[in-house]
Homo-oligomer: A and B are copies of this chain.
Amino acid sequence: MALPREYETQACALARSLEVVGERWTLLIVRDLFFGVTRFTDLQAHLDIPRAVLTQRLARLAEAGIVQRDPYALTDAGRELWPIVHQLMQWGERHLVADGPVRLFAHATCGTELAHDGACPTCGTAPPPTDIETRPGSGTPVVVRTDPISVALRRPHRLLTPLS
């Protein structure tokens, strides 16, 4: 029988992508890696994910060439997931969050807030994640986490810069 995480009968490239990044927790792990989390323990504490599941997901991401180990970080292929992660966040902000954006993203080199499609309105191009600074927005999150990683992630910082 087909393993539930696969889509063997689907020819589409979307099915291939979802076999790698479509499992529960996987895109949240990728998001944390964009945000600068680098340690297994920190990912586990921030996501409240069972360790066994985190181990399995990181193994699959490493196997697919999306993350490297020692320390955990996104590869070039993993960094190319940024538009997808960003647009999923923006779509959720528009349709599922009540009062304004929970998190903002700005082009670090010019300070302009990014548009929905990830482009910088001032510069006209979509900056790479290394040139993006993130900080909390005006919206009220459904929960306010107080663990050290969540607190650190609320300080304005550039993407892909390890928290340390």
A35 to B128, CA, bound (A): 31
Interface magnitude class on chain A: 35 or more
Contact A48 B11 (CB under 8 A): no
1/0 per position for A14-25, CB-CB distance to B under 8 A?
111111111010
Q: A52 in the interface, Cβ–Cβ < 8 Å?
A: no
Question: In the complex, which residues of chain B have a beta carbon less than 8 angstroms from the beta carbon of A84?
Answer: 84, 87-88, 91
Say yes or no: A83 contacts B117, CB within 8 Å. yes
Closest chain B residue, CB of each to CB of A32: B12
The answer to whether B145 touches A13 (Cβ under 8 A) is no
A40, CB-defined interface residue at 8 Å? no
Q: What's the Cα separation between A106 and B129 when bound, in Å?
A: 27
Smallest Cβ-Cβ distance to A9: which chain B residue: B48
Q: A144: which of B11, B21, B27, B141 is its contact (CB, 8 Å)?
A: B11
Which residues of A99-139 have CB atoms within 8 Å of chain B's CB atoms? Answer: 101-103, 117, 126
Q: Pick 9 A–B contacts, CB within 8 A, sort by A.
A: A4-B24, A7-B28, A9-B47, A11-B150, A12-B141, A13-B103, A16-B92, A16-B142, A64-B96
- A sample of 8 more A-B contacts (CB under 8 A), given A18-B27, A77-B95, is A11-B142, A12-B31, A13-B89, A14-B85, A14-B92, A17-B96, A64-B96, A65-B95
